[in-house]
Chain A
Amino acid sequence: MMLSRAPRDLTMAETVRGPGGARVDLLLVSEMIEPGSRVLDVGCGDGELLRLLEARGVDGRGIELSREGVNECVAKGLAVIQGDADTDLANYPDDAFDYVILSQTLQATRRPRDVIEHMLRIGRRAVVSFPNFGHWRIRLQLLFDGRMPRTANLPETWYDTPNIHFCTIKDFNDMCALVGAHMEKAVALDPWGTALKINAPWWFWNLFGEQAVFVLTRKPG
């Protein structure tokens, strides 16, 4: 399983950079986090999001699978540990964080549902961003080419990809209902990193959103 945000895994929106040079999807996530809160970034890569968060006065921690990513983060002074989302989240106590973030990593976990459930247990809120496999270009490839879709943003062949659990925005919604997660906020991004209209229907997001960001909480009671 891969947790690192290797450049080859990036969707197009991820590579779009904002005014400060930061990835727009990370900027979007960081703006969802209240200053002063405690955050765990699962699959934190080279620590770019944690740095954005620390600049906002957030007490950020990270888990990263790749040794290179971890060592780079620690050398930057970030509180990051080497670990695996599938196995290591179980070691954290309930309500240890205000937010647990899973950015562009869900599709690479072995048991995405367990990971989401742990996130909801550890954090008061879970923030999940993932590439939407229901995007029209991916649908068209499967329909007309009859092969597993490969795009400029998801270039790996089926036998080579670390992304083993792709889902669509609708699929993710279904799972949220199943695990009893309350959807506090949802945003879909177009390939340029711009949020789609907030009042668009789900089918529209599922067709035109290249990626999605969800903020989840445990259902009260």
Chain B
Amino acid sequence: MGDQATTDTTRDAFGRPGPATMSTTPATAETKLPVLVREADRPRSRLAEFGPDTPLQLDCGVAFSPFQVAYQTYGTLNETKSNAVLICHALTGDQHVGNVHPVTGKGGWWDIMIGPGRPIDTDRYFVVCSNVVGGCMGTSGPSSTNPLTGDPYGLDFPVITIKDMVRAQTMLLDHLGIDTLFAVAGGSMGGMQVLEWCASYPQRVFSALPIATATRHSAQNIAFHEVGRQAVMADPEWRNGRYFVEGTMPRRGLSVARMGAHITYLSDTALHRKFGRRFQDRDNPTFSFDADFEVESYLRHQGSTFVERFDANSYLYLTRAMDYFDLAADHGGVLANAFKGTRTRFCVISFTSDWLFPTPESRAVVHALNAGGARVSFAEIETDKGHDAFLLDEPELLGIVRGFLDSAGRARGLVS
């Protein structure tokens, strides 16, 4: 990989003139570098700052301080503070779940789900979404400035876990004065956080929606992540994680990681339907390594736009956190123990064509919940859109989330 990737990327997957993807000219690196570093330290977002007296206790043993949590809110917290919904974002998501993204200018990543009159109705609920610890959009992470050195942490940032992410969220909620969440929802890595919430703080969660997720990463999932991490680390511009200090950017590595990962978010059927074997802006193969096929061009575009908004080191840290996640192992190897005696209402959702977090993973959660007599709904939605279906306009998904929350809202006295 490498040189060939810099050619023929002046058009995106839809044939429009696009950015010169994969190009790593120093000028671009210099103009883009401050955006990510500035966003990490001074995000265009709400911010909760925690000083030396309230460190974040991490699983690795470090008491991390000072640290900050960047978050967004939508809707109004009611007087009894009983209508809060926490949204947990996925690997490459962030707190901008329902507003225009400050870096990309695109709409919120779950706009379809959250808003006035939407399934997670902001006329009714107070929605909170925070950037995870280890992320790069304003919550402390490897691109945040280390106060001891004045430089971004890079690999000096401690390794974090899903549990650490949830711990940081509990501190944010304490800061906001919210004791019990009406609901906590999220897909993929967000779903892992939802499950961790239910296992670690069951008394603080009235209802939970773990979507397209699992209680642990499979060997295959870890393997895919390792390929992504190796792509980042193999980029000479990665500089052992010190690229901000050295004025480089591991763009090619991170975009290759994103390209590989993106394939796992889609299904074979969806890719074929979208692109088939069609050529990109040409009638015949060029007998070169240009992006002859539409699918190649699409992936290159995905990779190149990703590096504009995401920090390579954050990608390493967050994929690692997902790999380490194993809820059963934290509870004596018995998953049911993680949910023993829970009173939380669960709605577990999976998608037929999701091969990254296939339905049996969700079913394992359901069985564990059944063993504890929990109130659980479980729906598998038929779609060919793969893992990413949880982010897309799937009418059945929207209907199920709406119905589940309406019912939970009635039980909670939020809906008449």
Residues of A within 8 A of B (CB): 38, 59, 61, 67, 70-71, 73-83, 88, 91-93, 96
A61 lies within 8 A of B375 (CB): yes
| B379 located at the interface, meaning its Cβ lies under 8 Å from any Cβ of chain A in the complex | yes
B407 lies within 8 A of A77 (CB): yes
User: Assuming A81-B366, A92-B370, A92-B371, is B378 touching A75 (CB within 8 A)?
Assistant: no
| B367 located at the interface, meaning its Cβ lies under 8 Å from any Cβ of chain A in the complex | yes
The residue from B373, B377, B408 contacting A81, defined by CB atoms under 8 A apart: B377
| B276 located at the interface, meaning its Cβ lies under 8 Å from any Cβ of chain A in the complex | no
Chain A residues with CB below 8 A from B370, complex form = 81, 91-92, 96
A70 lies within 8 A of B403 (CB): no
Number of A-B contacts (CB under 8 A): 67
Known: A71-B400, A79-B345, A88-B367. 7 other contacts (CB 8 A): A67-B381, A74-B347, A77-B404, A77-B407, A81-B366, A81-B377, A82-B380
| B226 located at the interface, meaning its Cβ lies under 8 Å from any Cβ of chain A in the complex | no
The residue from A59, A67, A76, A79 contacting B376, defined by CB atoms under 8 A apart: A79
Residues of B within 8 A of A (CB): 345, 347-348, 366-367, 370-371, 373, 375-382, 396, 399-400, 402-404, 406-408, 410
Q: Tell me, in angstroms, the Cα distance from A9 to B319 when the chains sit together.
A: 49
User: Assuming A70-B378, A74-B404, is B373 touching A93 (CB within 8 A)?
Assistant: yes
B345 lies within 8 A of A75 (CB): no
Chain A residues with CB below 8 A from B407, complex form = 76-78
Task: Name the residue on A nearest B366 (C-beta).
Answer: A81
Chain B residues with CB below 8 A from A71, complex form = 379, 381, 396, 399-400
Chain B residues with CB below 8 A from A59, complex form = 375
Task: Name the residue on A nearest B396 (C-beta).
Answer: A71
B371 lies within 8 A of A67 (CB): no
A79 lies within 8 A of B375 (CB): yes
A78 lies within 8 A of B380 (CB): no
User: Assuming A67-B380, A74-B347, A82-B380, is B373 touching A96 (CB within 8 A)?
Assistant: yes
Q: Tell me, in angstroms, the Cα distance from A70 to B381 when the chains sit together.
A: 10
The residue from A38, A73, A74, A91 contacting B367, defined by CB atoms under 8 A apart: A91
**Distance in Å: Cβ of B403 to nearest Cβ of chain A:** 4
Chain A residues with CB below 8 A from B378, complex form = 70, 74, 80-83
Task: Name the residue on B nearest A61 (C-beta).
Answer: B375
The residue from A77, A81, A93, A96 contacting B403, defined by CB atoms under 8 A apart: A77
Task: Name the residue on A nearest B373 (C-beta).
Answer: A96
**Distance in Å: Cβ of A119 to nearest Cβ of chain B:** 14
The residue from A61, A74, A92 contacting B379, defined by CB atoms under 8 A apart: A74
**Distance in Å: Cβ of A4 to nearest Cβ of chain B:** 15
B404 lies within 8 A of A70 (CB): no
Q: Tell me, in angstroms, the Cα distance from A75 to B371 when the chains sit together.
A: 23
Chain B residues with CB below 8 A from A76, complex form = 403, 407
Task: Name the residue on A nearest B368 (C-beta).
Answer: A91
Chain B residues with CB below 8 A from A96, complex form = 370, 373
**Distance in Å: Cβ of B352 to nearest Cβ of chain A:** 8
Chain A residues with CB below 8 A from B406, complex form = 77
**Distance in Å: Cβ of B313 to nearest Cβ of chain A:** 40
A93 lies within 8 A of B375 (CB): no
Most buried by B among A80, A82, A88, A92: A82
Chain A residues with CB below 8 A from B376, complex form = 61, 79, 81
Chain A residues with CB below 8 A from B380, complex form = 67, 70, 82
**Distance in Å: Cβ of A143 to nearest Cβ of chain B:** 45
Chain B residues with CB below 8 A from A91, complex form = 367, 370-371
The residue from A38, A77, A81, A93 contacting B371, defined by CB atoms under 8 A apart: A93
A75 lies within 8 A of B373 (CB): no
**Distance in Å: Cβ of B365 to nearest Cβ of chain A:** 10
B403 lies within 8 A of A75 (CB): yes
